């Protein structure tokens, strides 16, 4: 049976048809395509700002730190848009910290997480004076303590707890089960935290948790948060101070005709239920729910293969948007020209030489022809950041729209950009 294109991602964003043309805010996607070519990512400032604001405001009057997960969209113009609104940044590499700083996120709003931070990265974060380093293991705590002593600094840290609660839209993005590589058990977390609190070169601030991504049900989140509350209370009962809990990211977005994920207000109400009357500062690390609906990938139809079920070959491929290939993810597909006629079933693929380069099969779509422009919806998170140059396809440009204006915020790579990084060894020169 053909899959209907439900366009659920229309929920709340600033991509809609006006006068027959699909627009991002007040700009026609077709005009952007004419100016910068295809494929290209296009982001909406108004959507980014709205999602950040809705999330933050849902917790009012509680003052929470909303640290945008840079892994979802690392473009410095996107980060700067959010930073201007007051967002912090959740980072997992030195590169992400540098991007956040470059975008104007103050160091004291940057969280540094990840299971494999190198010594150089830890030292960089300590020097930068980030808000918090989320420590994921005993070994990491020892390394960080050594670095802090050597540098005579006192970094603020949180211990990442693995609450043994799984959740998330796909097994590859679930992080909270006991056997996952993330964090330490609740018992170990207490011991590690006490160890850190005793160290005069570590500033033990809190505990952190993140159980998965694209979560559409509050129940596992609530279970994990209850574990966090209990741990904070246990520490305090032992006379150990704890000021902060970092509750991670993970709230899902609507990609398809599944039930809508919980609204930020429901999420915040659950958080209040769990943490009411506990005097503690909360932070969050949302990525997808802020950026996903704020971006699309535009592409053109290169060719139509005439089959019983026609195959649409686009100029975008799995290297540009890999989510369908690795998670079987669904992205709505909309033609830039508002469709009117009947829909029929298509397969939509990219030009890369493997069958995995298939965006969707048997999807009901309006009639498509060579040269038509289409948009992959809900592609603002985990889109451009996961791109590669497979098949020697240069990275595509990113465009930021604000009202009637748009700007190329990352230019298209040229093949020359890639070649500039490579060289022939002496024994092959002149051959
Ligand atoms: N905090 C931590 C510690 C995380 O590991 C993640 C995501 C987040 C926050 C942000 O989660 P979000 O709010 O975006 O759900 N590439 C996958 C998603 C991987 C998510 C990994 N961690 C995808 O395209 O679906």
Quote the mean pLDDT of the chain: 94
In this predicted model, what pLDDT tens digit does every residue of 385-406 receive, in sequence order? 999 999 999 999 999 999 999 9
Q: How confident is the model at residue 428 (pLDDT cuts 50, 70, 90)?
A: very high
Structure tokens at 163: 């609450």
Q: What is the C-alpha separation between 403 and 48, in angstroms, rounded?
A: 13
248 Cα to the center of ligand 1, angstroms: 9
Q: What is the C-alpha separation between 84 and 80, in angstroms, rounded?
A: 6
* 112 strand-pairing partners: 91, 133
Q: Which helix (H) or strand (E) holds 405?
A: strand 405-410
Of 11, 120, 265, 353, catalytic: 353
250 Cα to the center of ligand 1, angstroms: 6
- Does 11 have pLDDT greater than 70? no
Burial-class residue 75 by CB neighbours within 10 Å (0-12, 13-18, 19+): buried
Contact predicate 110/67, CB 8 Å: yes
246 Cα to the center of ligand 1, angstroms: 14
Mutate to test the pocket of ligand 1, among 169, 247, 249, 326 (most ligand atoms within 8 A of CB): 249
Contact predicate 400/81, CB 8 Å: yes
Counting every residue written for the chain, the total comes to 431
- Does 46 have pLDDT greater than 90? yes
| Residue carrying the six token digits 């104007």 | 104
Catalytic residue flag (residue 353): yes
In this predicted model, what pLDDT tens digit does every residue of 312-366 receive, in sequence order? 999 999 999 999 999 999 999 999 999 999 999 999 999 999 999 999 999 999 9
Residue owning the nearest CA to atom 8 of ligand 1 = 249
Structure tokens at 353: 């030489």
Q: What is the C-alpha separation between 204 and 191, in angstroms, rounded?
A: 12
Q: Pick from 71, 73, 67: which is nearest to 55 by CA?
A: 67
Mutate to test the pocket of ligand 1, among 52, 70, 71 (most ligand atoms within 8 A of CB): 71
More confident residue, 164 or 32: 32
More confident residue, 171 or 207: 207
Contact predicate 398/409, CB 8 Å: yes
Cα 44 off chain centre by: 15
């Amino acid at each position: 049976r053909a899959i209907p294109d439900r366009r659920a991602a229309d929920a709340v964003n600033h991509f809609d048809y006006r006068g027959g043309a699909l627009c991002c805010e007040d700009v026609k996607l077709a005009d952007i395509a004419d100016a910068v070519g295809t494929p290209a990512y296009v982001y909406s400032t108004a959507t980014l700002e709205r999602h950040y604001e809705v999330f933050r405001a849902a917790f009012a009057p509680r003052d929470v730190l909303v640290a945008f997960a840079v892994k979802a969209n690392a473009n410095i113009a996107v980060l700067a848009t959010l930073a201007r609104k007051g967002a912090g940044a959740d980072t997992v590499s030195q590169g992400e910290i540098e991007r956040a700083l470059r975008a104007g996120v103050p160091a004291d709003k940057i969280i540094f997480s990840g299971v494999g931070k190198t010594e150089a990265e830890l030292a960089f974060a300590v020097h930068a004076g980030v808000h918090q380093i989320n420590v994921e293991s005993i070994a990491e705590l020892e390394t960080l303590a050594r670095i802090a002593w050597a540098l005579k600094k006192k970094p603020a840290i949180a211990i990442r707890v693995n609450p043994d609660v799984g959740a998330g839209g796909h097994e590859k993005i679930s992080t909270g089960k006991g056997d996952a590589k993330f964090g330490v058990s609740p018992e170990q977390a207490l011991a590690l935290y006490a160890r850190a609190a005793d160290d005069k070169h570590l500033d033990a601030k809190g505990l952190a948790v993140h159980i998965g991504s694209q979560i559409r049900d509050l129940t596992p989140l609530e279970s994990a948060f209850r574990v966090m509350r209990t741990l904070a209370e246990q520490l305090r009962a032992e006379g150990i101070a704890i000021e902060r809990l970092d509750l991670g990211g993970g709230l899902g977005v609507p990609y398809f005709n599944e039930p809508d994920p919980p609204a930020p207000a429901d999420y915040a109400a659950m958080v209040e239920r769990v943490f009411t009357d506990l005097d503690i500062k909360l932070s969050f690390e949302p990525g997808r729910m802020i950026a996903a609906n704020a971006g699309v990938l535009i592409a053109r139809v290169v060719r139509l293969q005439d089959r019983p079920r026609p195959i649409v070959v686009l100029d975008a491929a799995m290297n540009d948007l890999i989510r369908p290939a690795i998670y079987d993810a669904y992205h709505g597909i909309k033609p830039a020209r508002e469709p009117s006629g009947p829909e029929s079933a298509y397969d939509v693929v990219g030009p890369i030489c493997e069958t995995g380069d298939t965006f969707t099969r048997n999807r009901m779509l309006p009639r498509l022809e060579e040269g038509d422009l289409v948009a992959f919806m809900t592609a603002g998170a985990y889109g451009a950041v996961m791109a590669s140059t497979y098949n020697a396809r240069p990275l595509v440009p990113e465009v930021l729209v604000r009202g009637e204006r748009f700007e190329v915020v990352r230019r298209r790579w040229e093949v020359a950009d890639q070649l500039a990084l490579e060289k022939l060894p002496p024994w092959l020169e002149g051959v």
